[in-house]
Amino acid sequence: MSEDRSSNGQGQRSWLRSLMTSITGEPRTRRELLEFIRDAEQRLKLDAEAMNIIEGALQINEMQVRDIMIPRSQMVAVKSGQSPESFLPQIIDSAHSRFPVLGETADEIQGILLAKDLLPLALQKDQDNFDLQQILRPATFIPESKRLNSLLSEFRVNRNHMAIVVDEYGGVAGLVTIEDVLEQIVGDIEDEYDTEEDDMDIRAISEHEFIVKALTPIEDFNDYFNTEFSDDDFDTIGGIIMQRFGHLPNRNEYTMLEGLEFKVLNADNRRIRLLQVSTEAS
């Protein structure tokens, strides 16, 4: 009897809540809030970009670090025993500003190296006495299950920009940056190293080499290169290339398709951005 009474009570409260919502018009859930905001967008003609930011801000309340982290296999890291001559080319090529420093294994994070802390090396004649340990910053460790809104608050309070993500066994699962979190709210953040500067989807750099944006519609790509890629499953050439790789490729990975060589020039932890296409592949 008590269970039936409890069930009936919950049903009444749910019915009353629905009734009050219909009367007051106030949203009671996240879904109702989004519907309310979208309705306001149409009625008040709010800016679409502002609406995207509002929805992104609401979305991070439900997202976890594991949803956006850069996987361990794609981390650009420095090993503690490396000399400046061996790790500087890697740092320059990646164009990142922060790097995890590994010990004997990938699960041993000794600290975070900031690229700007390497500037004194330019004036240091004797680099044999360089001690990487002296310039390392402490690493912050967080679980995969941490909510993004909580992480963003920690980043702001601690003035930190990178955290190492650990799994349930304490091993390194990947890393996440404040930019990764902010991009969930405001969209992709392009910096001085992003190479998609012009409005052209396809740009010739030589007779047989072309720079192609991954978001180029398949129909436009086919018209330009006289190919016959299907647009049944994907809308863009980047989608087809992603399927071809079978994983999210790193920079400089390449694959062959329909007699063309596709080389990844720019990609982040979510999508391919820019491709180099060669029509004279051997």
| Domain co-membership, 237 together with 268 | yes
Give CA separation, 177 vs 70, 75, 217, in Å.
9, 12, 31
Looking at residue 265, its pLDDT comes to 83
The CATH number of whichever domain residue 121 belongs to comes to: 3.10.580.10
Q: Where does the pLDDT of residue 269 fall: very low under 50, low under 70, confident under 90, or very high at 90 and above? A: low
Number of domains observed in the structure of the chain:
3
pLDDT in tens, 47-76: 666 777 777 777 788 788 988 888 887 788
The CATH number of whichever domain residue 229 belongs to comes to: 3.30.465.10
Q: Can you tell me the mean pLDDT for 34-44? A: 69
Q: Can you tell me the mean pLDDT for 130-146? A: 91
Of 81-85, 187-191, 193-197, 264-268, which one has max mean pLDDT? 81-85
Mean pLDDT, rounded, of the chain: 80
Looking at residue 173, its pLDDT comes to 92
| Domain co-membership, 106 together with 139 | yes
Q: Would you say the C-alpha torsion 119, 137, 189, 216 has a positive or negative sign? A: positive
The yes-or-no verdict on residue 270 having pLDDT over 50 is: yes
Cα–Cα distance measured from residue 199 to residue 22, given in angstroms and rounded to the nearest whole number = 47
The torsion defined by the Cα of 108, 142, 242 and 223, in degrees rounded to 10, comes to -120
8 Å CB contact between 219 and 252: no
| Domain co-membership, 73 together with 168 | yes
Could you list the residue range(s) of the whole structural domain that residue 115 is in? 66-186
The yes-or-no verdict on residue 172 having pLDDT over 60 is: yes
| Domain co-membership, 150 together with 212 | no
Assess if residue 195 is contained within a domain.
Answer: no
Looking at residue 196, its pLDDT comes to 46
Q: Where does the pLDDT of residue 190 fall: very low under 50, low under 70, confident under 90, or very high at 90 and above? A: low
Looking at residue 166, its pLDDT comes to 94
| Domain co-membership, 182 together with 257 | no
| Domain co-membership, 179 together with 71 | yes
Assess if residue 60 is contained within a domain.
Answer: no
The yes-or-no verdict on residue 282 having pLDDT over 60 is: no
| Domain co-membership, 178 together with 272 | no
Looking at residue 75, its pLDDT comes to 86
Looking at residue 7, its pLDDT comes to 46
| Domain co-membership, 152 together with 215 | no
| Domain co-membership, 128 together with 83 | yes
- Tokens encoding 110: 């000794």
Q: Where does the pLDDT of residue 3 fall: very low under 50, low under 70, confident under 90, or very high at 90 and above? A: very low
> In this predicted structure, which of 81-85, 96-100, 108-112 has the lowest mean pLDDT?
81-85
Assess if residue 129 is contained within a domain.
Answer: yes
